[in-house]
Amino acid sequence: MDVLKITPRGYCHGVVDAIRIAKHVGEESKGPVHMLGLLVHNTHVTDEMQEHGVKLVDAPDRMAGLDKIKEGTVIFTAHGVSPAVKEKAAAMGLNSVDATCSDVIRTHDLIDRLVADGYEVVYIGLRGHPEPEGAMGHGPGKVHLVQEAADIDSLRISSEKVAVTCQTTLSVWDTDDLIEKVKARYPQAEVHNEICSATQERQEAAVEAAKEVDLVIVVGSARSSNSKRLVEVVEKKGGKPAYLIDSLEEIRPEWFRGVKRVGVTSGASTPSQLTRKVVEYLQELEAPA
Ligand code: SF4
């Protein structure tokens, strides 16, 4: 099989930093070390972190996660947390280590400034994902989560000052329609697009590569927002089929019937050795007739 390795792909700077911080803290700390949720959305990475002494605390939200920790160190993941979570960790006497990505911190700072200036913020993001949870905690009652068009119809905003921003790992193709709808309802709304450059660049490369291949394999976890967006943009904007796989074992040979050339990319939290194994497997694969 002819394989096009799509670049850029794989680890972004936020993931590299979070892994470096967690490994260091796991190896150097005296007491127990916990990551408050998946450090990054890839189970291979979080399994590896546990080998470095960092225990996973999984819970429906970060506050509930803190309740499961008795002592020691807590690492806030790359997705960021709300100020209330930081305050609670401090009040519990935990040693806090912040592995929030600098791009997520930029969004938190933006929300802080907007709310202090009297704005209400429409935040486009995914319900139940930790990044919106942390971002919304920067303006309780002033930041409104929108995931789909119906959420915009039910918005109740009292301030004249309205701003729109978004989760870092969405795609412009997802957010554009929602932003237009918010603008139709609140024409004065200021738009602050916070999709990070790592996400944007990987998506643009995947859409461009889709022109040259018959299908695209995205290596990444089903819990990874940016990996799922890669599949969507290839299908919607690139016009080619795409499959998300967490590991080599999930590949189905029948996907490749009649396929001459396949593109491979990976999410921002996918270890490169996983992607390399997939590329090597596909290079050896004879496409079924
Ligand atoms: Fe940071 Fe973007 Fe990577 Fe998320 S995908 S960790 S926001 S660089």
Residue-wise pLDDT tens digits, 232-261: 999 999 999 999 999 999 999 899 999 999
pLDDT above 90 for 188: yes
> Given this model, what pLDDT does residue 183 score?
97
pLDDT above 90 for 287: no
- On whether the pTM is more than 0.85, the answer is yes
CB atoms within 10 A of CB 280: 12
pLDDT tens by residue, 70-111: 999 999 999 999 999 999 999 999 999 999 999 999 999 999
Ligand 1 contact, 269 CB (< 6 A): no
Locate 274 and state its tokens. Answer: 């996983």
Ligand 1 contact, 230 CB (< 6 A): no
Ligand 1 contact, 196 CB (< 6 A): yes
Helix (H) or strand (E) holding 59: none
Beta bridge partners of residue 190, listed in sequence order: 163
| Residue 136 pLDDT level (bands cut at 50, 70, 90) | very high
| Residue 289 pLDDT level (bands cut at 50, 70, 90) | low
Specify the residue with its C-alpha closest to ligand 1, atom 8. Answer: 14
| Residue 174 pLDDT level (bands cut at 50, 70, 90) | confident
Which of 2-6, 34-38, 172-176 is predicted with the least confidence, judged by mean pLDDT? Answer: 172-176
Ligand 1 contact, 194 CB (< 6 A): no
For the chain, the average pLDDT equals 96
Segment 147-154 shows an average pLDDT of: 97
Distance, in Å, from the CA atom of 99 to the CA atom of 41, rounded to the nearest integer, reads 14
Distance, in Å, from the CA atom of 124 to the CA atom of 164, rounded to the nearest integer, reads 8
| Interstrand relation of 143-146 and 120-124 (parallel, antiparallel or unpaired) | parallel
Ligand 1 centroid, distance to 81 Cα (angstroms): 14
Mention every residue, 6+ apart, whose C-beta is less than 8 A from residue 125: 131, 132, 135, 145, 146, 147, 166, 167, 170
Q: Tell the burial category of 49 from Cβ atoms under 10 Å away from its Cβ (0-12, 13-18, 19+).
A: buried
Q: Could you confirm whether 131 is annotated as catalytic?
A: yes
> Given this model, what pLDDT does residue 286 score?
84
If you write DSSP's letter for every residue of 14-37 in order, what string do you get?
A: HHHHHHHHHHHHHHH-SS-EEEES
Q: Specify the ligand 1 atom closest to the Cα of 18.
A: 6
Q: Tell the burial category of 93 from Cβ atoms under 10 Å away from its Cβ (0-12, 13-18, 19+).
A: exposed
> Given this model, what pLDDT does residue 177 score?
95
Can you list the domains of the chain with their CATH numbers? 2-10+197-284 (3.40.1010.20), 13-100 (3.40.50.11270), 103-191 (3.40.1010.20)
Distance, in Å, from the CA atom of 286 to the CA atom of 28, rounded to the nearest integer, reads 48
Distance, in Å, from the CA atom of 93 to the CA atom of 89, rounded to the nearest integer, reads 7
% of the chain surpassing 70 pLDDT = 99
Distance, in Å, from the CA atom of 261 to the CA atom of 227, rounded to the nearest integer, reads 21
> Given this model, what pLDDT does residue 173 score?
85
Helix, strand, coil proportions of the chain in percent (round to 5)? 45, 20, 40
Maximum separation of any 2 CA atoms in the chain, in Å = 64
